[in-house]
Structure 1
Amino acid sequence: MSNNTGNSVLALLIGAAIGAGVGVLFAPDKGSRTREKIKDGYDDAKKNLKDKFEDASEKLRSRFSGAKYDLDETYEELVSNMSHKTEDVISFLETKLADLKEQNAKLQKKQMANQQKETV
């Protein structure tokens, strides 16, 4: 819960308590009627607090669901980019391997030629 929401809820509860206390002190009604009014005020404050809590919860859920979607999308993009990079690296390594095989074949031919010259 954000600080502003917490302060609003606290102010609401303090206001309800003060209002109930002042109402009891200055109430011209009988005690049973005054208690009923206090109970009704308490029920209203409780419902209001519950509604605010549900609204805050819904806002948090929507923010987190959006963040989850963004995270999933970013992950998919990363995997896709890595896949392309992997293909580039494999192609590069295959080219280098072919070059090394070619150089090796040339060196072996030279060695064979040198060995044949030495045996002659």
Structure 2
Amino acid sequence: MNTNRKLLTALAVGAAIGGILGVLYAPDKGVETRKKISDRTKKITDAAKEKLEQLRHHGNGAKDRKSEFA
């Protein structure tokens, strides 16, 4: 589980950095660039929260199944 968490964290951080750098190098006005960064950050955050919730749900299900066999 710890390895999965590290992998997801690294993936999210890498995606965020890549998205921000891509937006910063795009030829847009400052206001538009900041809005794009904000929008992409929100999307990444929402996706990470959803994935974390799925992992928690999966972990709870595994814990429940384990207690059934114990």
1:48-79 deviation line (CA, Å, top 9, x unaligned): 110110111011100111111222xxxxxxxx
Shift of 1:5: 4.1
Letter in 2 for 1:10: A
Point out which structure has higher relative CO (alpha carbons under 8 A, 6+ apart). Answer: 2
| Map of 1:69 onto structure 2 | 68
Name 1:114's counterpart in structure 2.
none
Deviations 1:19-76 (A, max 9, x none): 212321x2222111110100011001101110110111011100111111222xxxxx
The CA deviation string for residues 64-100 of structure 1, in whole angstroms up to 9 with x for no partner, is 11111222xxxxxxxxxxxxxxxxxxxxxxxxxxxxx
Contact kept in structure 2, 1:16 and 1:45, CA below 8 Å: yes
TM-score, normalised relative to structure 1: 0.52
Name the TM-score, length of structure 2 as normaliser.
0.83
> 1:6: which partner in 2?
6
Contact 1:13 / 1:45 at 8 angstroms: preserved in 2? no
Aligned to 2:17: 17
Aligned length: 70
Aligned to 1:50: 49
What are structure 2's unaligned runs of at least 5 residues?
A: none
Larger Rg: 1
5+ residue gaps, structure 1, are 72-120
Provide the aligned C-alpha RMSD in A.
1.6
Cα-to-partner distance string for 1:88-120 (whole Å, 9 max, x where unaligned): xxxxxxxxxxxxxxxxxxxxxxxxxxxxxxxxx
Contact 1:20-1:38 within 8 A present in 2 as well: yes
Structure 1 residue 13: Cα displacement: 1.5
